[in-house]
Amino acid sequence: MLGHPVAENPIDRMFDAVFARYGLHWQFWKCDVDSADKIAAAIAGVRALGFSGACITVPYKVVSIPHLDEVDDDVRAIGAANYMTVEDGRLVGHNNDGKGVVKAIKKVTPIQGKRVVMLGAGGAGRAMAVELAWAGASQLTLVTRREEQGVEVAQTVTKASGVPAEWLPWRGEVVVPPGTDILMNATHLGCAPALEPVPVAWDSVPAATTVVDVITNPRITPFLQAARSKGCPIVDGVEMLVQLAMQIFQAWTGIEPDETVFQRAVAQALGE
């Protein structure tokens, strides 16, 4: 995996346990690439060192694209890649961030016809926004500190899906718009070890709102703890990780995995 920071992500321990379970003599390496200036060399290293594939995580999901040999239709529509396969020596970019979040949310609530508010719109957030629209969300609101980013992602969503999307500025505490059905944190806030709270005005969040976090460590972030205290249904980032990791595993190995193997592996990785 190429990204920065990567230390707290449990994905390597999960994949290594799954590789062992299926008798594969493989290892998953996390590579901390501390500057965008180095991402071209890091991606070239995937080919040079004979890797079978690689994940791409924040903050390189967008800037990595020009350094790949080819991208699939999802990457072209979304404008971000979160993993690559190696096909006949060519590095091919894919994006299933949104597919993982859609599967995880559908375990808790339907998406069809729902109004979604997303906090943050980086490489993962933009993929999730597009996939949620493709899954039937009726409207998306993107709340970001940078107007250019939020507006661009909102336009990407509507162009890719026809679903209306808007940008709202993130200034201080976020007041969630009335009628929101799904509230999602797509930022780094809440990740270990800092465990920063997401500044949300929780009195604007009804108990019927499904609250989603993309953070994978810890499983229950301060954001989800606050939502749970309101009585909101929650979807954690670990569930999303499992759903997208199974798809990546199958793309790399050709093996259709058993979900229980992944669930046990990630729980063990997190010490649960």
Active site positions, annotated: 61
* DSSP per-residue codes, 143-171: EES-HHHHHHHHHHHHHHH---EEEEE--
- Measured between alpha carbons, how far is 151 from 88 in angstroms, rounded to an integer? 38
Which residue in this structure is represented by tokens 């493709």?
Answer: 134
For residue 167 the two structure tokens come to 């940008």
* DSSP per-residue codes, 33-64: ---GGGHHHHHHHHHHTT-SEEEB-TT-TTTT
Phi, psi torsion values for 71, nearest 5 degrees: -135, 155
Phi, psi torsion values for 59, nearest 5 degrees: -105, 35
- Measured between alpha carbons, how far is 211 from 108 in angstroms, rounded to an integer? 10
Half-sphere exposure of 62 (CA within 13 A, CB side): 13
